[in-house]
Structure 1
């Protein structure tokens, strides 16, 4: 097949390139010459390139504000773009978006695309918020198209006047990469598999298991989650909270009392970072995801595809994947009381919980199947 042109996809770290966009780069390489650009990070980038079957180029980028390193990264990206002469530069993640959109504009790349999968700056205040707002507007100004990965995020961008609606477009029904429903499928895990893992984690057969998957940071609502679960667990001993992920203490630390409760409560089970989260969804009864902000959360789609009802906050992305009372329930942001009430209802109202669970997978398959999203992105490239 003759390829249509060259695309460079950029993320700040290779975990995003190989994780958030898993499979997509390999799919696009059937139609375009695709190059992945990201930080090297202990040969992780090379592994992503091998898995996705694309060429990769390392450019060191940081997730923090580091002016000197950022200028060096812009220059390195500029050199890559001038040498490779791609038709399209398409960036993901905040820092990669800013640096690569600036570099691509200076390099004269005709199509400069940036996907927005969340706005961390929304939680910032004061001078820091002003700085981040300015950077966001500058990034969008350098881009030729901006793709929010949810309709709610699209509205937030317009409300904050970061750019005009002419530059904005939500592809398909939202999401940056969709969900592989053949991979996230509860039928792949037998009753014996699930019983074995529960036994390893010291979870009794009659225990109701809430699961959280993601970074253990304040912005994910972990402080509220631990507060709510502690109260619930004091009243209902047959409950467990399963935490899958890692801390980011330097970027967004939890309250000391939250960490202490995680460490000391035997009914809170923290299993760390996991390359495959499916077994943990398979032994759980419900997802708890009380995040403060999201773009279009993969975790909620993954849990739904695994047949779990979800408790999510009323934020963009989450309130698009979840329909109240159909495949989950939606609660106010930063409310441990509302989270407690929702967790208790799923625990005590078995009929209600079962109804939500029955619709969970069906709704994900209908709206967010991965290849549907990939083809929509491919069509967007073709129209450019």
Structure 2
């Protein structure tokens, strides 16, 4: 098949592409696009190449603020974009979005920016120097034609409007998350353990609510030591400023009650074994783990934070608690521990919500439609 349209996808790290954008790239390939992936390689580049994509290793530091290193990254993106001059650049996460849109403005390239949450510098009402620089760069970069923006929730979109970042020339779309594969994440299997299993499936970051989850478990230990098990499931992320140290996770492990099992490649089996899925995050775009939990038919306890609250209808498929509230988090979990009937009922409601709102097939089509529209403008 002749591929005369080039889609360049820029993501900060290779594993993130494989986790959340692979289906979009595959669909583009099926539609006749030549697809090049640019990301920081962490040893998974071969998996990307095996899928039929070209791969370019770009060292994008996810949390670095060194002016020299950031300028080098910007220059690498500039020369890559100039060399390839793609019809469309699809950019994910904040640094690729900011740097890539500036480069594309200089070179006259169409951009599709998928803003999957505003990230560390917009959490906890941070107003530091880095955020001010980001805002100025976005205001300048977004002032261009053929710049299409995808947000995962209305609040993130409105925040950028309030900051005068979104330009009148931009096309703005709100698409609920990146979706979930409803065939893969589907289960009628019920947990067989005699203990209620409470699962926190996320990277080990403070702003994902790891401390609150651990403290809620400790608060409930006296009553539920032999009736429940709290499981933290996710990778360490040492590059992130919010990284939870390994020492903390090891210190608070209680065998048979509170355990960290690290990163797991087979998340379907982890959800299958879980009775309750918890994510006490401070802010999200629209969390993939909660969409997956819905698809797996699990009751959810999360926060009323931006992004998280989109996944739960209070009292129907789970509970929402205030951010950083350990006591209310523990109380919501306790209600579900003590009510298998509610867990079953809410689990069914979660699956229904996933089928209605989170089907990845629909999301992939919407993203590719936006790519095509940029060509037609």
Say yes or no: TM over 0.5.
yes
Q: Distance in 2 between matches of 1:273 and 1:317?
A: 23
Judged with a 3 Å threshold, the aligned counterparts in structure 2 of structure 1 residues 258 and 339 are, in CA distance, closer, same or farther, namely: farther
Equivalent residue, structure 1, for 2:206? 218
Report the counterpart of residue 151 of structure 1 in structure 2: 154
2:187 matched to 1:227?
no
Contact 2:303 2:320 in 1 (8 A): yes
Provide closer, same or farther for how the CA distance between residues 346 and 4 of structure 1 changes in structure 2, counting only shifts above 3 A: farther
Of 245, 248, 256, which aligns to 2:237? 248
In 1, Cα distance between equivalents of 2:321 and 2:156: 18
Aligned partners of 1:340, 1:119: CA distance in 2, in Å? 28
Distance change (3 Å), C-alpha of 1:230 and 1:135: farther
Give 1:301 shift. Answer: 0.6
Q: Secondary structure at the match of 2:270?
A: helix
- Give the corresponding residue for 2:101: 101
Separation (CA, whole Å) in 1 of partners of 2:278 and 2:95 = 28
What is the match of residue 49 of structure 1? Answer: 49
Structure 1 counterpart of 2:132: 130
Give per-residue Cα distances to partners, 1:186-229, cap 9 Å, x unaligned.
14xx56xx65xxxxxxxxx3211110111111100111111111
For 1:288 and 1:144, locate their aligned partners in 2 and report how far apart those are by CA, in whole Å. 36
Q: Given the alignment of the two structures, is residue 347 of structure 1 paired with residue 349 of structure 2, yes or no?
A: no
**CA offsets per residue over residues 57-106 of structure 1, 9 Å max, x none?**
22222112232222222222222222222111110011222222222222
- CA separation of 1:79/1:93 partners in 2, compared to 1, >3 Å: closer, same or farther? same
Work out the CA distance in 2 between the residues paired with 1:156 and 1:356.
Answer: 32
Shift of 1:362: 1.7
**CA-CA distance at 1:286 after TM superposition:** 0.8
What is the alpha-carbon distance in structure 1 between the residues aligned to residue 244 and residue 82 of structure 2?
43
Confirm or deny: 8 A CA contact 2:10 2:38 kept in the other structure. Answer: yes
TM-score, normalisation: structure 1: 0.88
**Displaced runs of 4+ in structure 1, greater than 6 A?**
none
The residue number in structure 2 matching 1:199 is none
1:69 aligned counterpart, secondary structure:
helix
For the residue of structure 2 that corresponds to 1:134, the secondary structure is helix
Query: 5 Å matches for 1:4-83?
Result: 5-31=5-31, 32-42=33-43, 44-51=44-51, 53-63=52-62, 64-83=64-83
Using the size of structure 2 for normalisation, the TM-score is 0.89
Segment of structure 1 superposing worse, 342-351 or 256-265: 256-265
Specify the SS of the correspondent of 1:23: helix
Deviation at 1:263, TM superposition (A): 2.9
| Aligned pairs, number | 366
Post-superposition Cα deviations, 1:129-155, rounded to whole Å, max 9, x if no partner, equal: 434443444454468222112223222
What's the counterpart of residue 351 of structure 2? Answer: 361
**Residue 253 (structure 1) shift:** 3.9
SS of the residue corresponding to residue 70 of structure 2 reads helix
Does structure 1 conserve the Cα–Cα contact (< 8 Å) formed by 2:298 and 2:343?
no
> Which deviates more from structure 2 when the two are superposed, residues 240-249 or residues 307-316?
240-249
- Tell me the distance in 2 between the aligned counterparts of 1:138 and 1:362: 42
What runs of 5+ residues in structure 1 fail to find an aligned partner? Answer: 196-204
